[in-house]
Amino acid sequence: MKSLPYFCRGEVIKGFGRGSKELGIPTANLPDSVVDNLPADLNTGIYYGWACVGAGDIHKMVMSIGWNPFYKNIKKSMEAHLIHTFKEDFYGEILSVVLVGYVRPERSFSSLEALILAITGDIEEAKVKLELPEHLELRGDNFFTSAPSGSSAAPPTAPSASQTILNGH
């Protein structure tokens, strides 16, 4: 995919409420303004990369982009699972993401257990691939240290849901 690595950021919004509750795998959802601006050659599916919340630490992550066939979504979404345990939710915070690689296409599953097993496998694959030197390099990209507003000021505490930076520094 020509668009990788892909850089984006947006305000974390409430999703479908099933990541933590139903799957035990919490996700942070990005707003439609980010989803709607994805490049055409960025296929739906599961990706891996780096992410940070606000000006916090940078963590490995996996992200689902698409309609999540198991749940038969009618709206395309971007749902990130940061491979880190957070003490509390971070709705309203800015999530900065760099998509580094593609794991697999999205597909439906015969059971919730099969879906959870696949996601667990995606997470393990991401952990390994993100240790490659070319992927570790992106963890230190200045995209993560630049202010979300594009200025040198500290990130705002209550940004608008439309605030995004797309594939750029």
pLDDT, one tens digit for every residue, the chain (169 residues): 689 999 999 999 987 666 666 788 889 999 999 999 999 999 999 999 999 999 999 999 999 999 876 666 678 899 999 999 998 889 999 999 999 999 999 988 889 899 899 999 999 999 999 999 999 999 999 999 886 654 333 333 333 333 444 554 3
- 62: number of Cβ within 10 Å: 25
DSSP 8-state assignment for residue 83: S
User: How far is it between the farthest Cα atoms of the chain?
Assistant: 49
Q: How far is the C-alpha of 97 from the C-alpha of 38, rounded, in Å?
A: 13
Determine contact, residues 99/39, Cβ cutoff 8 Å.
no
Q: What is the dihedral of CA 33, 149, 53, 97, to 10 degrees?
A: 60
Catalytic residues: 79
Q: How far is the C-alpha of 78 from the C-alpha of 67, rounded, in Å?
A: 9
In the numeric block, the tokens 């916090």 are attached to 56
Taking the model in full, what pTM does it have? 0.84
C-alpha distances in Å from residue 66, one per residue of 4, 11, 42, 78, 159: 17, 18, 10, 7, 25
